[in-house]
Structure 1
Amino acid sequence: MASKLASDDFDEQFLTCPVCMLHFRDARILPCLHTFCKQCLQEWASKQDPLECPTCRTQVSLPNQGVDGLKTNFYVSNLLDFAAVKKRAEPGVPCQVCEGNVEGPKSWCADCATLMCESCAAVHRKLPATRDHEVTAEAMLKAERGVSKFQRKRHCDKHKNHELVFYCESCNALVCTACTVVDHRPGKDHNPVEITSVAQMRKQTMQELLKQMEPRLKEIEASIKEVDRKMSKITPSKDAATNQTKAYFRQLVDMLQKREQEILSQIDEQCRVDSKGLQAKREATEFELAELTSAQTFCQQAVQHGSDVHVVEVGSQVQTRVETLLAKQVDLESNWSEFQFVENTSLFEFEKELKHFGGLETDVDISKCKIAVKPAVRGFRCVAVLTTMTKEGCRCVTNSKTVTSSMKDPSGNDVMTQLEMKSGSVWEISYSPKVTGKHRLEVKVNSQQVEGSPLDVQVQSEDTPVLTIGRPGSGVGELIGPAGVTVDADGNIAVVDLGNKRVQIFDPGNGQSLRSFPVDGKCPYGIDVDSNEGFLVTSYGEDCGIRRYSKDGELMDTFKPDCVQDPAGVTVLKDGRMVVVDNKQMSCLLLQTDGSLIREIGKGLVPRFIAVDESRDVMFVTDNEEHKIFTFDLEGNLIFSFGEEGENDGEFRDPEGIALDPTGNIIVGDGVDGRVQVFGQDGMFVRKVATAKGGEACGIALTPNGYIAVSCWKESCVEMYRYI
């Protein structure tokens, strides 16, 4: 990159913001190492929550200062300066000091960020105040090595004339010489070290990272080449398969047409034979008719016109002839029945068999394919996930025509399923069961049952937990008196295990304990996640307070302001402020990020948990003495309350846990009978979700994939219910 930028043709793409497509203006670096203009990021962040990197779509947690807190990409800034200086150093550009000497060579002072002619540069080097400045000559600017030496000096924000030459390891901050005397004096709290030594260590670390990245980059590049190679084979493979398919089905068509001609020929032959036989039969019958008609005519003439002598003469002869004709055995049956075409194979059966006429063979190995069935609940959209694999156990891309699914309910009725490709190798099979009980899911790839299919899918009722996490005890995955519950940045369930004085993190998919960390305070109770993906945990009783832990469970801060005496539920706002309910204070406390009090809200309550809708600046507080939900704005004004004591829909008996869904509905857990109810933004009852085990729904949290996690205090577990 340096060699390119040292030439006259700068790499414009490297110096261009991907959002505004202009040269970077105050370039800022996201944690994913992609760089954008500060203003572009501010506009982007105003439209998204959470912020996603415009390039790689990685979710970004901004520091408390927002975009202003992101680090500046000084390398890009220096390159932009370098490009600008090179342009100014061209003939015809005046000196920025004397504003003359248009044609002469120029030099650049990195300390003053000024372009000077030779005369001014000579004076600049002699003056006591500027003799130590780094001045780069035009020849150096034009040389390849000029980029590496072209660095604008960084000065202290507090002491403007002092260059940043130290790094305080304790504060993780760059400081100047004056700072080491005043704010960062060496001692137990501060450890300023020369930047050069720290930079050398960081460079060594980055060099090691570069070494580690090299094989990975080669692996990825090789993978891309392999993808390209396979992509180049797609069209030839398509052409070959198309030609084979057409040839195969042309043969089938030829066979069918040949069979058609055979049957048509049989029909023609049968018609000819039948016609000939019936014609012969007709002629024989007509002969018999003619003889009998002749005898009949003679007999009639004799009777009507013959004399007595004539009648006597021929009477005996007529009698003998007629009796002979009548006694003659004549076959009057035609001995023929109509013929018709017979479907030896019905069209329906043929259509079923037709599915086996040819097929597309891919690398999918049905014995290696995997099916994961997510918990199924009556009345909800449920899913199973199919992953197609090769015989080597690698994911394999296949097309929608090769994958089929079907489902039957316990009565054998069909349940409609839908297939959706999430990626080339991952398929989501969705269905909406209407009854509970064992359903049968059949999944095929290339008309063959995949491993494990058909599967038994147990569909549960909506008020039955799809998963129960934890059991009583003090071991891994065990709980004693779980209280507050929240969802961490990774979507896992974090539970305050009060009896064991720890926070335990569980996988929401299988309920397995992922990790845990101890927490201080006698009775830890409430929990929430802050903007840095850490945890804020409250504890009441002895050594009460609010403590901030890192994502890995390291204690970062402890807040024990005088206004906090018995904290329970807690919610962290996006800007880092905290809202804490305090039983002893009988109110809610809005606190700054450092724990100092902003205002007290709802004095006189007996609060337990709290939820905040920041889009409307509204907070909801459970009061288990009044059996109500109180609603305040963040200025402390009471807006309304709802609920009353009782066991009917919309009533409460010691409401405790509370959460909000994405539409603003309010989910409340009951502390006596365990009911979990949903209310609209206006407090009107919507529906009952479930009744928690043991009759006490303490903490409540809604997961991103539409489940409610309910901590059951008495049963020492967390139950997961389907919500959306």
Structure 2
Amino acid sequence: MASNMPDDFDEQFLACPVCMLHFRDPRVLPCLHTFCRECLQEWATKQQPLECPTCRTQVSLPDQGVDGLRTNFYVNNLLDFAAAKKGTEPGVPCQVCDGNVKGSKSWCADCAKLMCESCTLIHRKFPLFENHEVTTEETLKAEEGRSKFHRKRHCDKHKNQELVFYCESCNALVCTACTVVDHRPGKDHNPVEIYTVAQGRKERLRGLLQDIEPRLTEIQASIKEFDRKISNLAPSKEAATDQAKEYFRQLIDSLQKREKEILSQIDEQCRADGKALQTKKETIEFELAGLTSAQTFCQQAVEHGSDVHILEVGNQVQTRVETLLAKELDLESDWSEFQFVENTTVIDFENEVQDLGGVKTKIDSSKCKVVVKPAVQGVECVAELTTMNQEGRPCVTNSKAVTTNMKDSLGTDVPTKLKMKSCGKWGISFVPKIAGNHILEVKVNTQHVPGSPFAVEVKGNPVLTIGRYGSGVGELDGPIGVAVDEDGNIAVVERGNKRVQIFDIETGQSLSSFPVEGENPFGIDVDSNGMFLVTSWGENYGLRRYSKEGKFLDTFKPDFMDDPHGLTVLRDGRMVVLNRPKQSSCLLLQPDGSLIREIGKGELRNPVFVSVDESRDVMFVTDNSASKVVAFDLDGNLQFDFGKEGQNDGEFQNPEGLTLDQAGNIIVANAGDGRVLVFRPDGTFVRKLGTVQGGFASGVALTPNGHIAVSCFTGHCIELYRYM
């Protein structure tokens, strides 16, 4: 690596991305990003699982934690070179005597110290330092000197010995002394000179470098294409915006024109109807005037006329009045109020407006695909949409281009949510309230995607029930403990049949079974080697181990164990076994069954099942009699507890089974009423999964396909609830 040291580098290259200071003990993550050891340790305490602060890649730390990460010696070399380069400047003191700011300096690669001429001379005279590699200031400043600048590596065990060998059997760098003591050549160790191994590694890395170049070129070309398209976003947006505005302006103009036409028709109709009504009114008024005049003349003749006058005009008046009365008049108005008619209702128009225009992309609705999975009542379910371009490749579009609608089996709308998952990948989430066949309609750019509308089968929860009462194959008698084996199948402890039975996770079919010893078999778990560990209490109690095939291997029955119940096995082989009823505590055991420590004694009344969050080193225990869940760290310290007796949300009725999901949420089964409840890592209630048959929920386990398997002790079955 030293041969590739740059001739020039800036301070930013030597600065940790977290603290922004010069690297202190730089450590390399598996993603090849480097940080200070202290920064990584602080970062690791703030988040689990650990993510690289730069690229957000999840990191699995070695058993030693941050201390187990590789040191970035290349960065150390650069720091040394920077220090040496600065040390050659005038006024910089010697790092050994803290004086002699004048004169040339030398660098000892073994001591990693910058020395003045006097200290260098003394350093060379000491026999202990005679093999140390000292580089003069002239060499440091020379072009060829930079490529040789490096700090030597020394053995952690033999401090004065340089690492010069590589033990291929142990995959470790060793010194000469190590090859005599701990890594003596033979069948178990094969120390080889570092140079030989390094050359082979370099050749492989050179081959990788050759593979990297075309990939880099491809990625860089892709980035340029992205930059080109990003630069086209603003002009594309501006052009599309102008087109949309012009289109809708024309629509608005058409609407306004139509509005004027309708208003003009209303005005014209009003004038025509007004003229007709006025003409008819005048005709009636003329008749009214004639009849009124005849009435007045007739009344005057009757009241004031003499007999002679009556005889002279009487016939004339009579004829006039009778003529007027006999005349047929149309006194009714044949006009009815005109009104505006909505040929297209506002609601219908709003629906049609949705189809007025759109954003044209490369998305081809006929190429889009939807994957619909069986759904479960009361659980958030997701259908997957992939928007495709004309070439049939996933392509991004805007969310407004996608419309989704769902109706349940009764025709009621079911709300849906659309969320982009990745490039061209969308999740259509919904929570069905009832079981039955639902209909999901998916459109892209107002066009149905192939297969839309889709039939979505919604099942009730639980989605699968395994077993029935009996002692035959596939039958169960008092299922209590449940676990998932290395193949992802369900392993169940039957107290009544005194056996473990394995069931297929998908079909529920019985795959195999094997007998277990002990009067009351109870808890079960599977270690990292696929072995089954089963507890039993009462007569002939103990913790027994069985092979993958169910062959009995051995029994753990130490003096400190009383009546073991629930258990869990950690990734490193350690075990936590609940010891009751006399001790009422948790036993943290080594893989060989020896006791590490006893936890919770005096703080638990009746512990039943246990599960451990290894990311936080916290274990959760169900305390049946106290109706609560208690959390301890693996050092034995009480952290917190939650729950109380009751039948409401977040309350317990004799809690038993307990397991954790990947996010640290806690799933608890109640023996008292059969409810299966979900809590956040801090004990806050989230939701109820369901209530099991028989009302006695015992062991619980999270399956690889996202279900919760619950053993129904009195229902003699296993119920699978959709969880994720």
TM superposition score normalised by structure 2: 0.76
8 A Cα contact 2:613 2:664, kept in partner: no
Return the alpha-carbon distance in structure 2 between the equivalents of residues 721 and 537 of structure 1.
Answer: 26
How far did residue 285 of structure 1 move?
Answer: 2.7
What pairs up with 1:159-558 in 2 under 5 angstroms? 159-373=158-372, 375-423=374-422, 425-462=424-461, 464-465=462-463, 485-486=483-484, 493=488, 527=525, 537-538=531-532
Return the alpha-carbon distance in structure 1 between the equivalents of residues 545 and 34 of structure 2.
Answer: 36
Change (3 A) 1:437 1:97: closer
How far did residue 244 of structure 1 move?
Answer: 1.0
Q: Secondary structure at the match of 2:324?
A: helix
Change (3 A) 1:545 1:67: farther
Return the alpha-carbon distance in structure 2 between the equivalents of residues 173 and 271 of structure 1.
Answer: 103
Count of residues paired in the alignment: 672
Return the alpha-carbon distance in structure 2 between the equivalents of residues 234 and 637 of structure 1.
Answer: 58
Partner amino acid, structure 1, of 2:410: S
Return the alpha-carbon distance in structure 2 between the equivalents of residues 632 and 279 of structure 1.
Answer: 94
Q: Alignment identity in percent?
A: 61
8 A Cα contact 1:527 1:536, kept in partner: no
8 A Cα contact 2:417 2:430, kept in partner: yes
Partner amino acid, structure 2, of 1:611: S
Q: Secondary structure at the match of 2:14?
A: coil
Residue 596 of structure 2 is matched in structure 1 by 598
Structure 2, unmatched stretches of 5+, are 468-478, 494-499, 509-515, 518-522, 536-542, 645-651
1:578 is matched with which residue: 575, 578, 602?
Answer: 575
8 A Cα contact 2:384 2:428, kept in partner: yes
8 A Cα contact 2:710 2:720, kept in partner: yes
How far did residue 607 of structure 1 move?
Answer: 11
In angstroms, what is the RMSD of aligned CA positions?
Answer: 5.3
Structure 1, unmatched stretches of 5+, are 470-480, 513-520, 550-557, 644-648
Farther-moved stretch of structure 1 (685-694 vs 83-92): 685-694
Q: Secondary structure at the match of 1:611?
A: strand
What does the per-residue CA deviation read over 1:417-450, in whole Å, with 9 as the maximum and x for residues that have no partner? 3334445634333333322222222233322323
Q: Secondary structure at the match of 1:315?
A: helix
Return the alpha-carbon distance in structure 1 between the equivalents of residues 718 and 146 of structure 2.
Answer: 59
Change (3 A) 1:134 1:12: same
8 A Cα contact 1:669 1:676, kept in partner: yes
Partner amino acid, structure 2, of 1:112: C
Partner amino acid, structure 1, of 2:74: Y
Partner amino acid, structure 2, of 1:39: E
Residue 476 of structure 2 is matched in structure 1 by none
Q: Secondary structure at the match of 1:415?
A: coil
8 A Cα contact 2:110 2:132, kept in partner: yes
Residue 611 of structure 1 is matched in structure 2 by 611
Change (3 A) 1:205 1:568: farther
8 A Cα contact 1:675 1:688, kept in partner: no
What does the per-residue CA deviation read over 1:6-34, in whole Å, with 9 as the maximum and x for residues that have no partner? 44x52323211111111110011112221
8 A Cα contact 1:483 1:497, kept in partner: yes
Residue 473 of structure 1 is matched in structure 2 by none
Return the alpha-carbon distance in structure 2 between the equivalents of residues 181 and 548 of structure 1.
Answer: 41
Q: Secondary structure at the match of 1:271?
A: helix
Residue 701 of structure 1 is matched in structure 2 by 701
Change (3 A) 1:482 1:288: closer
Q: Secondary structure at the match of 1:485?
A: strand
8 A Cα contact 1:650 1:677, kept in partner: no
Change (3 A) 1:682 1:355: closer
Return the alpha-carbon distance in structure 1 between the equivalents of residues 173 and 92 of structure 2.
Answer: 36
Residue 722 of structure 1 is matched in structure 2 by 722
Return the alpha-carbon distance in structure 1 between the equivalents of residues 695 and 172 of structure 2.
Answer: 52
Return the alpha-carbon distance in structure 2 between the equivalents of residues 396 and 233 of structure 1.
Answer: 17
8 A Cα contact 1:659 1:668, kept in partner: no
Residue 540 of structure 2 is matched in structure 1 by none
How far did residue 398 of structure 1 move?
Answer: 2.3
Residue 78 of structure 1 is matched in structure 2 by 77
Residue 147 of structure 2 is matched in structure 1 by 148
Change (3 A) 1:77 1:373: same
What does the per-residue CA deviation read over 1:32-59, in whole Å, with 9 as the maximum and x for residues that have no partner? 2211111111111122222222222222
Change (3 A) 1:548 1:143: farther
Q: Secondary structure at the match of 2:394?
A: coil
Partner amino acid, structure 2, of 1:667: V
Return the alpha-carbon distance in structure 1 between the equivalents of residues 325 and 402 of structure 2.
Answer: 77
TM superposition score normalised by structure 1: 0.76
What does the per-residue CA deviation read over 1:552-600, in whole Å, with 9 as the maximum and x for residues that have no partner? xxxxxx99999699999753458874335899xx997533478754257
